Amino acid sequence: MTALKNDRFLRALLKQPVDVTPVWMMRQAGRYLPEYRASRAKAGDFMSLCMNPQFACEVTMQPLDRYPQLDAAILFSDILTIPDAMGQGLYFETGEGPRFKKVVSTLADIEALPIPDPQKDLGYVMDAVSTIRRELNGRVPLIGFSGSPWTLATYMVEGGSSKDFRKTKAMLYDNPQAMHLLLDKLAQSVTSYLNGQILAGAQAVQIFDTWGGNLSAAAYQEFSLAYMRKIVSGLIREHEGRKVPVILFTKNGGLWLESIADAGADALGLDWTCDIGNARERVGSKVALQGNMDPTVLYAKPEAIRTEVGRILASYGKGSGHVFNLGHGITPEVDPEHAGAFLRAVHELSAQYHD
C-alpha cells in the first residue's frame, strides 16, 4: 500500500507529536454539501449510495477535495448495515429516518439471527473500503466504523428510531437473558465487521455508541460498555506495519469517561456537553481525546466559530493526544463555507500548542 503523506491523525490518536492538531468531522460526507446531494440524486437514494462502492468512494472523497485541511477520510456507509445483513430489512422513509421490515421482540427471534460474514454478507462495504483506500493514494488515513451493539439493538427492537426506547428498555429489564444474547451476537458481528474493514484498508476504526448515554449508569456498564470492551479486545490492532487505533464514542457518556478509558481503546470521542480540559484531567495519559465542538456552532459567523475553536484548543492545552472534531455529526443546514472556516481555524490556531 502507498505510504501516508499525512499521518498526523494516526499520530495524535497514539499521543505521538504532531505539528498541528488534526481535524475531521463526523458526517463530513453529507447533505450540507451540494456535491453530495448531486451524487445522491444520481444514485437514486441513500442505500444505493452506500451499496455501490464507486458512489461510496465518490462521496467520501468530496469533502477532502473541498477542504484540504481535513486530516482523515471516513468510510461512507451507515451504522445499520449489520442488522440489515442479519435479515432485518433496512429501508429509509423520507423524513422519518431508518426503518426495519422485521423487528426483534422475543428470545426465539434473537436465537434465529445469523452472525453476518463480512465478505459474503457485507462485501459491498469491504469493496467500498478498498476502493476508497486506493483512491486516497496515501493522502490521509481512512477511518472505518460501526455502531455499538447497544445502539444497533435499539433499532432492531424498536424497528427504527425512538425517543424513549420503551421496547428496548422493557426487554433489558424484563428479559435480560434475551438482551444479553442479542448484544453478544452483535458484538461478534461488529468485531468481524471491523476486522474485515481493517483488512480491506481501514487504518483506524470508530465505534459509534449513539444511544448509550440514554442508559442508567449501571445499565450502561452492563449492556453497552461491556460489549464494546469485548469488541476492542477482539480487534486487529496492527496491520500493514503500523498500529490501528480504536476510538470509542458514547454520546452523552461524559459521566463515565474513566470507565470508557479503561475499555482498551486508544481514544475517546467526546460530545459537546463535556469540557475537554476537564476530560483530559480525568483520563490522564490513558487515551487520546477526540472532539468536541457543538455542531450548531457552525451556524454562527466564521469569527464566532474561530473563537470557539480557540477556546476548545486552550482548554485541552499543550501537547498531542487531541483530534479536533465536532461533538456529533455536522448537520445538513450548515453553510459549507462555515465548515471551511472551522477547519482552517483548527490548523491555524493549534500550532502554538505543539512544539
Active-site residue (options: 7, 71, 78, 209): 78
Q: State yes or no: 29 annotated in a binding site.
A: yes
Cα separations in angstroms, 266 against 80, 114, 130, 192, 261: 24, 30, 24, 19, 8
d(CA 260, CA 174): 26
Q: By the 8 A CB rule, do 4 and 72 touch?
A: no
- Concerning whether 306 is annotated as a catalytic residue, the answer is no
In the chain, domain spans: 8-353
- Clarify whether 31 is annotated catalytic: yes
Concerning whether 164 is annotated as a catalytic residue, the answer is: no
Q: Is 8-353 CATH 3.40.50.720?
A: no
Catalytic hit among 37, 40, 237, 282: 40
- What's the mean pLDDT in 320-348? 98
pLDDT attached to residue 298: 98
CB distance 5 to 64 below 8 Å: no
Kindly indicate the confidence band of residue 171, based on its pLDDT and cuts at 50, 70 and 90: very high
User: Active site includes 40?
Assistant: yes
Q: Is the pLDDT of residue 225 over 70?
A: yes
Residue pair 297/332 in contact by the 8 Å Cβ criterion:
no
User: In this predicted model, what pLDDT tens digit does every residue of 8-56 receive, in sequence order?
Assistant: 999 999 999 999 999 999 999 999 999 999 999 999 888 899 999 999 9
Q: What is the mean pLDDT of residues 245-271?
A: 97
28 is in an annotated binding site: yes
210 known member of a binding site: yes
**CB contact at 8 A, 246 and 232:** yes
Confidence (pLDDT) at 45: 87
Given 155, 220, 227, 316, which residue is catalytic?
155
100 forms beta bridges with 90
Question: Whole-prediction pTM value?
Answer: 0.97
Please tell me whether 282 is known to bind a ligand: no
Which pLDDT belongs to residue 166?
96
Q: How far apart are CA 77 and CA 37, in angstroms?
A: 15
- 27: annotated active-site residue: yes
Q: Report the DSSP beta bridge partners of residue 74.
A: 143
CA distances from 210 to 67, 173, 246 (A): 26, 20, 16
Task: Tell me the pLDDT band of 246, cut-offs 50, 70 and 90.
Answer: very high
Confidence of residue 161 (pLDDT cuts 50, 70, 90): confident
Give dist(CA 45, CA 223) in Å, integer.
34
CA distance 204 to 198: 8
The response to whether 328 counts as a known ligand-binding position is yes
Residue 297 C-alpha cell reads as 456552532
